[in-house]
Amino acid sequence: MSPTHDTAAVPAAAHPHRAGLRLIAFYEIVKTVCLLLVAAAAFHLDHAENFNHLVRWLEHLSLTDSSGLRWKLISTLVDFGPSRFVAVGVVTLGYAALFGIEGIGLLMGKYWAEWFTVIATASLIPVELYETLHRFGWLKLAVLAGNVAIVAYLVRVALQTRAMRRMQ
């Protein structure tokens, strides 16, 4: 196959949806960074000493009008225990890798990244829908709506990109 027929990516200048793809890529990279921070915290809380320090800190933290929330968080942490944080860290790292691959692939203008993001994002929509309906929250609804919009947009873009690649 000659270099002129390489279909790995549509040239950035020729892609009419470059700004939208970059915005989604930025969103994916922000999620990656946040998940890496959560994973680091989870691995740090695996040690009983660090876990107990966090629980003591939360017990003494002065939070106006949120005492019930604080004690619920402390109770949940104590029930969870420090040993389960390794599993949380590993799962979180897995999602961070997934979102990082999506973001970098989209930034690089890779066609496969469009479909990879569609599949990965769409696969989580049923879980997000269940969570939103089971325990409604405006943030959950916003994330669900955002991910549905991203999937719809990327399917449209990927299909247009495919048609553009066939014409080349």
Closest CA to 20 of 142, 107, 140, 116: 107
To the question of pTM greater than 0.85 for the whole model, the response is no
Given a cut of 60, whether residue 120 has pLDDT beyond it is yes
Domain boundaries, the chain: 17-109, 110-168
In this predicted structure, the answer to whether residue 45 has a pLDDT above a threshold of 50 is yes
Give 12's strand partners: none
Q: DSSP E strands: which ranges in the chain?
A: none
Residues 45, 87: Cα–Cα separation, whole Å: 11
Write phi, then psi, for 9 (nearest 5 degrees).
-155, 150
